[in-house]
Structure 1
Amino acid sequence: MSAPAQQRPLGRRPRDADAILAPVARDLGRAAAAALYDELALSPKPGLVTLISNGSHDDMDARTFFRSIAALRGYFVRIARLGMAGADFEALERAGIEAEARMLAATGGINTHRGAIFLLGLLCASAGALIAAGRPLTPAALQAMLDERWGAALHRRAQRPSMLPGGMAARRHGLRSASEEAALGFPAVFDVGVPAMRSARTRGLSHERAQLDTFFHLMAALDDSNLAHRGGLEGLRFAQQTARGFLADGGAAHPFATARAEALGQEFEVRRLSPGGSADMLAAVCWMVRIGAVDAVDAVDGR
């Protein structure tokens, strides 16, 4: 995978668009898989699996995530192509269900990336639709396209009761579910994660420190149903308050940010807390960095 300095923005659709749509879909999909690696490689990351820690998990490690990412590479390319072709939500959902089956087959039934399949898949489809329409890739344009093409279907989906652990925890505690977050256009990603990443980069934080700062901003703001499932409402509020304290004390710009995050990780592991929803959203922001969207002018269209 190429380093961030070697990444190139994906631009407007040229005249010979039909000849280049397939390679662009490949680039979007590869960036999504690379963003999942970015999220995995970030360390320390309290409660979550990294290259050197299993976090709060006994059933998965970095090798599990590598197998999962490898199984999902083709999916992200495929769903970007579906977005380019103007596919309806049912086609996107079928692709996601098939990708989840491949993930579970690769991991022996362990859920490593179910949330990322949903979130990053929709974003790849939205990017594909923008490229096909000749519109620039910016965060605002991605969010607007998501609502324009699939917003009504996402609102209908949000009315369906989820039988997944995170969905049931959200319903039990009166939290916003992942489906509801999607129906609203992923505000945690676009209103919290992207501004946090932009701010960190503007302040000159290193690539890793910018990711760490973004992660803590997401954890501070998001009603992460993974945390609610594992630790109840008390566990969720503990994680949010911990993240806010980390940020109030300088965040990732603090000279001892790494040591502080490692210490927090030990507390998370004692409580068996794992902010998986925040990790998925961090991956989404990393994907936008890789395709050049975070640094793009934030306009809804290019007119």
Structure 2
Amino acid sequence: MPSTCQPPQSIEAAAFRLAREAVRALYAELVLEPKPGLVSLRDTGSHHDMDAGHFVRSLFALRHYFAHMVRAGARQAAFDELQALGLQAEARMLRATGGINTHRGAVFCLGLLCASAGWRVAQGLPLHAEGLRATLCRRWGPALSERAAQVRRRPPASNGQRAARAHGLRSAGDEAALGFPVLFEVCLPALRQARRAGWPDRRARVQALFATLAVLDDTNLVHRGGIEGLHFARQQARGFLNQGGAQGADWPERARAIHAQFVARRLSPGGAADLLGAACWLDAVTGCPLADPARSPVLEAWS
């Protein structure tokens, strides 16, 4: 087993904190409203098979997974081990939700980020966004690139893969192999720019979500609405941003009007939601503390 620079107790403390922040970040994404087409505490968006309760049960099922990924990263685990941990977490999620996919994208994206953080903690290196991205690319980038290449050679195994293949889009696997460019170059900067401007957390997160939606190859949208659905979603997001984004007294009404249009078209930007959750986690562990979004059973029952 590779040696580390930090004692086991330091890694355990970091694993607990980083995993807890992962749950907090995903809860922050869940309770955010308005967000077009997505499940919130207000309504179920474009989904008839899931509600906020499914997401809460999923978070309980996943809360230890993120700590496992931190520990795996700390011991410099190979990608095959990270992938196995992710598949086990998906199975727990599906058991908790009765077979409904609530957080598969977050398991993949946020799990990899937790592993990258674990590696840096073990080496005594600071946690900052640039370093986490560099660690991900250096430690597991080649394996992620090979995985993405293998997926392209095989028949598509998921709705997202089929959508990406049919329209020449970047899948979640392609994004990971590139070090999550939309997350690090669009979503997180939009969140932090809004925070630096003094915007409250809710407005900052809505702004980051729409900035992400405007550029991401969100295959969830293509699966539900075809390539026209993706183009429509991007157009709506850009229009919202061009009208001032999440500022001005009317921003919630403008965002809810877009939400209504997404629901009418059955559009749900799950990929953008996953990146927003990851950005909230990055903001918490590398910058300003993540404000407690609300008192919740998920956070109170953490153990």
Q: TM-score, normalised by structure 1?
A: 0.91
Number of aligned residue pairs: 282
- 1:226 equivalent among 220, 223, 236: 220
- 1:236 equivalent among 230, 234, 258: 230
Partners of 2:187 and 2:211 within 8 A in 1: yes
Answering whether residue 120 of structure 2 is matched by residue 130 of structure 1, we say yes
Q: Which residue of 2 aligns with 1:4?
A: none
What is the alpha-carbon distance in structure 1 between the residues aligned to residue 169 and residue 181 of structure 2? 14
Q: Which runs of 5+ in 1 are unaligned?
A: 1-13, 296-303
Partners of 1:41 and 1:50 within 8 A in 2: yes
Q: Which residue of 2 aligns with 1:24?
A: 14
Letter in 2 for 1:261: A
- 1:45 equivalent among 31, 35, 38: 35
What is the alpha-carbon distance in structure 1 between the residues aligned to residue 44 and residue 105 of structure 2? 19
What is the alpha-carbon distance in structure 2 between the residues aligned to residue 99 and residue 61 of structure 1? 20
Q: Secondary structure at the match of 1:254?
A: coil
Answering whether residue 103 of structure 2 is matched by residue 113 of structure 1, we say yes
> Shift in Å at residue 140 of structure 1?
0.5
Taking every aligned residue pair, what percent have the same amino acid on both sides?
52
Q: Which residue of 1 aligns with 2:296?
A: none
Letter in 2 for 1:25: A
The correspondence of residues 80-159 of structure 1 with structure 2, limited to 5 A, is 80-159=70-149
The correspondence of residues 1-303 of structure 1 with structure 2, limited to 5 A, is 17-161=7-151, 162-293=156-287
Mean CA deviation greater in 247-256 or 211-220: 247-256
Q: Deviations over 1:19-46 (max 9, x none)?
A: 2210111111111111110100100111
Runs of 4+ in 1 over 2 A off after TM superposition: 14-19, 292-295
- The verdict on how the C-alpha distance between 1:129 and 1:104 changes in structure 2, with shifts beyond 3 A counting, is same
What is the alpha-carbon distance in structure 2 between the residues aligned to residue 201 and residue 179 of structure 1? 29
- The verdict on how the C-alpha distance between 1:45 and 1:159 changes in structure 2, with shifts beyond 3 A counting, is same
Letter in 1 for 2:273: A
What is the alpha-carbon distance in structure 1 between the residues aligned to residue 73 and residue 161 of structure 2? 26
What is the alpha-carbon distance in structure 2 between the residues aligned to residue 294 and residue 228 of structure 1? 34
- The verdict on how the C-alpha distance between 1:183 and 1:294 changes in structure 2, with shifts beyond 3 A counting, is farther
- The verdict on how the C-alpha distance between 1:37 and 1:225 changes in structure 2, with shifts beyond 3 A counting, is same
> Shift in Å at residue 254 of structure 1?
2.5
Partners of 2:192 and 2:283 within 8 A in 1: no
Partners of 2:113 and 2:132 within 8 A in 1: yes
Partners of 2:6 and 2:122 within 8 A in 1: no
Q: TM-score, normalised by structure 2?
A: 0.91
What is the alpha-carbon distance in structure 1 between the residues aligned to residue 288 and residue 167 of structure 2? 33
Q: Which runs of 5+ in 2 are unaligned?
A: 290-303
> Shift in Å at residue 129 of structure 1?
0.6
- The verdict on how the C-alpha distance between 1:15 and 1:105 changes in structure 2, with shifts beyond 3 A counting, is closer
> Shift in Å at residue 16 of structure 1?
6.0
Q: Secondary structure at the match of 1:103?
A: helix
Q: Secondary structure at the match of 2:286?
A: coil
